[in-house]
Amino acid sequence: MNCRDALQRMDLFPARRLQDGGSLSPGGAISGAGDDDPAWTELQAHLRECGLCRVAYDAHRLEDTALRGRLNDVVIPPGLEGRLRDALESVERTRTRGGAPRLVRLWGTVAALVVATVSVWWWQGSRGRVSLDTVRHQIKAQVLDSAAQFDALPVIASAAGLVPGWEWRGLVREESGRGLEVDGRPGVDACIYRFADAATHVRGYLVVLPASLLKSAPTNGLPGAIQYRPLPSTAWVAGEHAYVCVAQEGDLSRLLQALYGTAA
Amino acid sequence: MPNPPGAELRTLVAEHYTAVYRYAFRLCGNAADAEDVTQQTFLRAQRAIDQLRDAARADRWLLKIARNEFLRRRTTAAPTSLASDPAGPAPRGDEAEEVQRALGDLADEYRLPVLLFYFEELSYREIAAELAIPIGTVMSRLSRARMHLREQLLRRESCVQSLDVSPPIPFSPPPPSPPRP
């Protein structure tokens, strides 16, 4: 390194490094924050050997220190530290005060969502999920055991359209069905019709209910196999509705054969 | 047992608020903005106290926050003159005003390297990295800026003594060099 490089390199180091280096003496070491920097090491080596550059270095260091001192010569406003602390504590207080309710609100919302989700799931899963056997037993208990009970059921005026197909419309006696409760909870779940076929001498009841109400709804779209307990009955699904036909009198298989050409 | 965050921050304020304010004052040029920048610096430090890994380097961390806060405000607010604020309490007599005037003579691209060098004590390489400019540019800008400050602040004293006072020369940057291919 020559003197020109050394003079240029003096500018490379911040004032504190030069200050930390202290005044140089011939052959003496310059310690400072730049020890790990190769440029600083080279400068040190040159300064140890060159008296002129040492003088320049000392002048440069003193000048830089003076300049740094002038730049730092700023009067601190009175009370600044107190104002800063007040501002920080104010923000901290706001954060602490506002934080807890936010947390409570957040957890409250989450808990409410969980409860709502579980409730809907439970309601959907448990509401009226009944088996076909349950439906048959409800028909027997509420209607078949006493003919008078059918007339006591509430009339559903808008249920006429629920009768499946022209075959059954000819057999159903009343225009209006009656409301039936099958899932054990208060409220009407199904619509029941009284029917009678003069040709086969079969009379009984036809129940229409939402297919979604059944635990395992039949997959057949027309009357399927006849079940004989507690009474002869058959069930099928068409669209969104499930149909359960219960014969109170007569041979149900004959009726089905007459209507559909097959007993099952 | 580690100090609670509030106590740690109070310690930071006590130890470094003067350095932060001085730096902010030189950046902003007036006391009101400097105090705002100082306050915002510590508020940001409060939010980001977890990012301070080495407490021994807290001063550099805070000064960098102060610089970023100043730059952020400068981009959102109208530019202000760097001449000393006559209503501000910070300047102490003619000497303090002289410093601010000398800094105000410098264009931004010259003043910022000087402040990074003398306050944040960054090396040329670090300044180049912070300002995203070549190290050669940093060297030339810093050299010219320091020369200007020395002329204005240090040699003036000897000039005054010899009654040979030359008026300050407005310092403007040279025309930008063409971009490198």
- pLDDT classification of B20: cutoffs 50, 70, 90: very high
The DSSP bridge partners found for residue A237 are A242
d(CA A47, CA A32): 14
What is the reported pLDDT for B178?
Answer: 54
Of A64, A67, A74, the CB nearest to B22: A74
What is the reported pLDDT for B16?
Answer: 92
Q: Could you give phi then psi for residue A210, rounded to 5 degrees?
A: -60, 135
Considering the entire predicted model, what is its pTM?
0.52
Q: Which residue has better confidence, B1 or A149?
A: A149
Q: Return the structure tokens found at A116.
A: 């709502």
Q: Could you give phi then psi for residue A177, rounded to 5 degrees?
A: -90, 180
What is the ipTM score, two decimals?
0.74
User: Does position B99 have pLDDT exceeding 70, yes or no?
Assistant: yes
pLDDT, tens only, B67-96:
999 988 887 765 554 444 444 444 455 666
Q: Strand A241-249: give its sheet, edge to edge.
A: A155-156, A177-180, A190-197, A202-210, A241-249, A233-238
Instruction: Compute the nearest-CA separation of B89 from chain A (Å).
Output: 7
Chain B hits for A83, CB-CB cut-off 8 Å, are: 35, 39
Of B17, B43, B123, the CB nearest to A91: B43
Ranges of chain A whose pLDDT falls below 50: 15-16, 19, 21-34
What is the reported pLDDT for A30?
Answer: 42
Residue A76 in contact with partner chain B when CB distance is under 8 A = yes
What is the reported pLDDT for B175?
Answer: 52
What is the reported pLDDT for B86?
Answer: 46
Q: Return the structure tokens found at A155.
A: 């009339």
What is the reported pLDDT for A23?
Answer: 43
d(CA B171, CA A186): 93
What is the reported pLDDT for B156?
Answer: 54
What is the reported pLDDT for B160?
Answer: 43
- pLDDT classification of B6: cutoffs 50, 70, 90: low
- Name the pairing type of β-strands A177-180 and A233-238: unpaired
